[in-house]
Amino acid sequence: MPLRTPCQATDSPETEWRKIVSSIPESCLAALSETVAGNAAELADLFYQFMLGHPQAKAFLDHNVVQQRLHASMRRWLVEIFRHPQLDETAIVALQRHVGEVHARIQLPIFLVARGARLLKQEVARALEAKFDDPRLLAQTIACSGQLMDLALELMSTSYERNSQRGARNDEAYRLFSIGQNFAVERERQRAVLLEWVQEILFTLHRPSAWASLPSLGKSEFGLWFTHKAPAIFDGDNEMEQVQSIIERVDSSVLPLLRVPPLLQLRPLAEMIMGLQFEIDSIKFLLTTLFERHQESENGRDVLTRLLNRRFLPSVMNREIHLAQTRHTGFALLLLDLDHFKRVNDEHGHDAGDLVLQQSAALLMSCVRNGDFIFRFGGEELLVMLVEVNTESALRIAELVRQKFETTQLLIGQGRVVQISVSIGVALYDGHPDHQYLIKKADEAMYSAKQQGRNRVALATGVEFDPAGV
């Protein structure tokens, strides 16, 4: 058998793949394909046993996600790589690049995938030994299987690096955008919501029967803002950790003492309130320090609506996925489409359409909390990320938004008004590490709402989404 032509530096990935496949006889390719297909389930088991057993991988994967989606995708990925005959090298190369893109989105370390692939190569080689009597053909087939796996990893790694760099640029842009807000306004806003929380505490303390329901600081408007938005502005500042410690101390030590019925309290109420005031004053001082350290500027908002730019969505979602995984909290996406928006442009002009979008953004902002995020998703679509919610509260907020649009007249100039409804898709974070999966679920739910007649809320159910395995 003649030696195969070695791959050249200028060869396309498709050409390299073709050369590797042509390096061994058809019978060997058939045996390789049959062996991998017959052992795909066991190979996927081996890969994910390693992944779930590695502490760094466990931060990105959990048992349920593996069993429900990724295991089957891994089996298909293995079968496609070694399928014989292979009909479309272009599709195979595109698949590997897509896998690398998914890994970059969920920030799965590429060295873990490479290590898992090394285990797969060893197991494939071991399984092939039972298929061949001829040592020379066995060696050629094992070499071919390893080269195909290596080329797949090379393509993944290239895509991973390219998309990671893009993600890092967007993360940095979002950080710069976040620190470029009007700090004087934002500082006063946060001081105000902190004061509102203190006033709510004091008001509740005037009703001893309600002491047991004193609201926590961590779940307050200020607490949600501090957990979900402040890190993007003040990431790495020492005061962040100090404020977090105070919040935790207030919720774990100060408030529990205040919730005790008056007759059972061991310390005077006035003394405990003074202790709470001291903690709040410390937060105010630290906030002032944080805000004054950064300069004012403004950039990165959608020009028309002044909402967050869509380019920051991956950065924000990745932060929330990390928070959900580490703090065991939930979040949800609401994807809104303005019903029959094209009709507004056609009948009243694009200036009227712009006014509708601007007022829709303001209307939406009035319906959500300080710690939530709103994005201009594209065209007449707006996206809301609700932090620390469950299904019931997400649907309640979505319905509130729908009713608000249904009952509000929007000005379009010259004394004219229009009323416009919205179709809303709701998707709850379910543990999947890829933010695109949740966006797809919200999009499918929104499409379902429109198909059912518009002006309604639809909750996402299971949506097919194949991250191509690993």
Do 198 and 156 share a domain, yes or no? no
Where residue 394 sits, what CATH number does that domain have?
3.30.70.270
Q: Is the pLDDT of residue 109 over 80?
A: no
Same domain, 246 and 280: yes
- Of the ranges 134-138, 183-187, 194-198, 237-241, which one carries the lowest mean pLDDT score? 183-187
pLDDT in tens, 387-396: 999 999 999 9
Residue 3 has pLDDT above 60, yes or no: no
Q: Are 145 and 82 in contact (CB under 8 A)?
A: yes
Nearest by Cα to 185 from 91, 291, 102, 58: 291
Out of 175, 193, 211, a domain closes at 175
Tens-place pLDDT, residues 12-39: 888 888 899 888 899 999 999 999 999 9
Instruction: Tell me if 468 is assigned to some domain.
Output: no
| Spatial contact of 442 and 335, defined as CB atoms under 8 Å apart | yes
Domain count, the chain: 3
105 and 75: one domain? yes
195/158 same-domain check:
no
The domain containing residue 97 runs over which residues?
A: 13-175
Clarify whether residues 314 and 426 are in a common domain.
yes
Quick one: 99 and 237 in the same domain?
Answer: no
What does the pLDDT look like over 347-373, one tens digit per residue? 988 888 999 999 999 999 989 988 899
Residue 468 clears pLDDT 50, i.e. is over it = no
Asked whether residue 90 is domain-assigned, the answer is yes
Q: Of 132, 151, 175, which residue sits at a domain end? A: 175
pLDDT confidence bin for 75, thresholds 50/70/90: confident
Which of 112, 147, 175 finishes a domain? 175
- Let me know whether 22 and 169 are in one domain: yes
pLDDT of the residue at 470: 36
Q: Mean pLDDT over all residues of the chain?
A: 84
DSSP single-letter state for residue 182: -
**pLDDT the model gives residue 164:** 63
Residue 174's pLDDT is 66
Per-residue confidence (pLDDT) for residue 9, from 0 to 100: 55
Q: Which residue has the higher pLDDT, 80 or 182?
A: 80
pLDDT at 271 (0 to 100): 87
pLDDT at residue 172 greater than cutoff 80: no
- Residue 446 sits in the same domain as residue 352: yes
Q: Is residue 151 domain-shared with residue 242, that is, in the same domain?
A: no
Q: For residue 28, is it within any domain?
A: yes
Which tokens go with 335? Answer: 């994807």
Write b or e for each residue in 66-75: b if 16 or more Cβ atoms lie within 10 A of its Cβ, otherwise e.
beebbbbbbb
Q: Are residues 111 and 161 in the same domain?
A: yes
- Whether the CB-CB separation of 144 and 21 falls below 8 Å is answered with yes
Q: Which of 412, 434, 445, 354 is nearest to 60 (CA)?
A: 434
- The pLDDT value given to residue 188: 86
The rounded distance, in Å, linking the Cα atoms of 159 and 80 is 19
Residue 164 lies in a domain: yes
Q: Do the domain assignments include residue 449? A: yes
**Angle at alpha carbon of residue 70, lines to 77 and 387, rounded to 5°:** 140
Question: Which pLDDT tens digit goes with each residue over 263-312?
Answer: 566 678 888 888 899 999 999 988 988 887 664 334 457 878 888 888 78
Q: For residue 443, name the pLDDT band (cuts at 50, 70, 90).
A: very high
Of 325, 442, 357, give the one whose Cα is nearest residue 395.
Answer: 442
Asked if residue 113 belongs to a domain, the reply is yes
Domain with residue 99: its CATH number is: 1.10.490.10
168 and 25 belong to one structural domain: yes
Query: Which residues touch 421 (CB under 8 Å, ≥6 apart)?
Result: 338, 339, 402, 405, 406, 454, 455
317 and 435 in a single domain? The answer is: yes
In the prediction, which pLDDT does 465 show?
34
Q: Is residue 4 assigned to a domain? A: no
The answer to whether residue 304 sits within a structural domain is no
